[in-house]
Amino acid sequence: MSIGTAGGAAPAYVDDDALDAISVSHLPWSLDLGDDRAPTSARWDLGEPWVVGCRIGRMTGRRGRAELRDTPGEYVAVLLVHHGTEYLRQEGRTAEVTAGGAALWDGVRPVECFTASRLDKHTMFVPRALLAAAVPDLDAALVRAIPDSADLRLLHAWLQTATGHEDLEPDTAQRAGRMALDLLNASLARARDGSSGTHAVLLLQVKSFLDANLSDPTLTLDTVAKANAVSLRYLHLLFQGSGETAREYLRRRRLERARQLLTGADLSVTEVAGRCGFDSPSSFSRAYRAHFGMTPREARRED
C-alpha cells in the first residue's frame, strides 16, 4: 500500500507504525491522509471473514491496477460506519454511508473512497465466492447503501462486541464470524425484497441451536425442528442456498470442534468423540479422516 498525505508532508504524529498497521490490516490501498487525525486500525480474524476497525480523519483512497494486482485473493468488503460519513465510488455507482449505515464494495474491481472528517468504522472482508453463494445477484447489491433494519443494527452491535475481545479462541472466533455473516445475509435479504428477513434470522437461530448442542449424540433433525418451532420440511428449506444441508452443517461443526479439542485440550480421542456428539470413537475417526484427510491421532501427532 502506498500512502501519501493530503495537502503536503505527513504530520509528525502520523508515525510509520500507524501507517504500517493500516497496510497490514486492509487490502492494498493508495491513501492520501489529512493532517487532522492520526489513523489507527486493528484486525480480528473471525474464521473465514476478517474484520478491521479503523479511526481516521480526512482521507481519499483508491484501489487501481497496482493495488488489485497486489491483493491476495478475491473479497467483498462490508463497510459499516459508526461515526462520520464515507463515500464509495465503483464502476459508476456512488454510495454515501453515514453513521449506522453499511455498503458493500468489490475487492476485484477498482474503487475509490472519501471522507471529509473524522471516521470510525468496521470493514468486514468476506471471501467473494462465499458471499456470492449466499446472495442472489451480488453485483446488484454492490455500492448501494444497505437500508436500516433490525438485522443491520444487530450486525453493527455484534461486530463491536466481537471485536471488543482480544483473546477469542479460534472456535469462538469462527462462531462470531458465522453469526456476522448470517446477520449480513439477513440485512441484504431485507434490502432485496423489503421483507422482515425472517428466513435468514430463523436460519441464524437454528445454527445457534445446533452450535449449542454439538455434544449431544442423540440430537436429530426432528429434535432441532421441534426446538425451533418449525416443521422438518421447513428446516430443510431454511438451509437451501446456504451451501450445505442441516445435517452437513451439524457434522462440519462437530468436526471443527473436535479439531480444536484435539490440538488445544488434554483429552483422549475417545473423550473428544464423546464431547463432539459421536456415538463411538470409530465413527468419529472415519468422519474425521473423510473431512480432514487424516485420522484424529495423526492430527494430534502433526500438531
pLDDT for 135: 77
pLDDT tens for 261-291 read 988 778 899 999 999 999 899 999 999 999 9
DSSP state of 11: P
Enter the CATH code of domain 3-150: 2.60.120.10
pLDDT tens for 145-166 read 998 888 899 999 999 998 888 7
User: What's this model's pTM, rounded to 2 decimal places?
Assistant: 0.63
Q: Residue 241: what are its φ and ψ, rounded to 5°?
A: 90, -5
Per the CB < 8 A criterion, the answer to whether 38 and 18 are in contact is yes
* Banded pLDDT at 12 (limits 50, 70, 90): very low
| Segment 244-252 mean pLDDT | 92
C-alpha to C-alpha distance for 136 and 140, rounded to whole angstroms:
9
Reply yes or no on whether the pLDDT at 231 is more than 70.
yes
CB atoms within 10 A of CB 113: 21
Half-sphere exposure of 143 (CA within 13 A, CB side): 18
C-alpha to C-alpha distance for 179 and 162, rounded to whole angstroms:
10
Which of 148, 158, 50 lies closest to 100 in space, CA to CA? 148
Strands (E), the chain: 3-5, 30-33, 40-45, 50-56, 59-63, 75-83, 85-90, 93-98, 102-106, 111-115, 119-127
Q: What is the DSSP string of 185-211?
A: HHHHHHHHH-S--HHHHHHHHHHHHHH
Per the CB < 8 A criterion, the answer to whether 199 and 207 are in contact is no
Which of 250, 126, 212, 213 lies closest to 177 in space, CA to CA? 126
Per the CB < 8 A criterion, the answer to whether 194 and 134 are in contact is no
CB atoms within 10 A of CB 49: 25
Measured in whole angstroms, the distance separating CA 226 from the mean position of its chain's CA atoms is 29
Measure the CA angle with vertex 41, ends 89 and 14; round to 5°: 95
**Residue labelled with grid coordinates 448470517:** 182
| Segment 188-212 mean pLDDT | 74
87 burial class (0-12, 13-18, 19+ CB within 10 angstroms)? middle
* Banded pLDDT at 20 (limits 50, 70, 90): low
Give the SS3 label for residue 107. coil
- Is the CA virtual torsion 262, 220, 177, 290 positive or negative? positive
Per the CB < 8 A criterion, the answer to whether 59 and 178 are in contact is no
pLDDT for 23: 56
Region of poorest pLDDT, from 63-72, 149-158, 213-222, 240-249: 240-249
Domain ranges of the chain: 3-150
pLDDT tens for 43-62 read 899 988 999 999 999 989 99
Per the CB < 8 A criterion, the answer to whether 128 and 52 are in contact is no
C-alpha to C-alpha distance for 253 and 160, rounded to whole angstroms:
24
DSSP state of 142: B
Measured in whole angstroms, the distance separating CA 134 from the mean position of its chain's CA atoms is 13
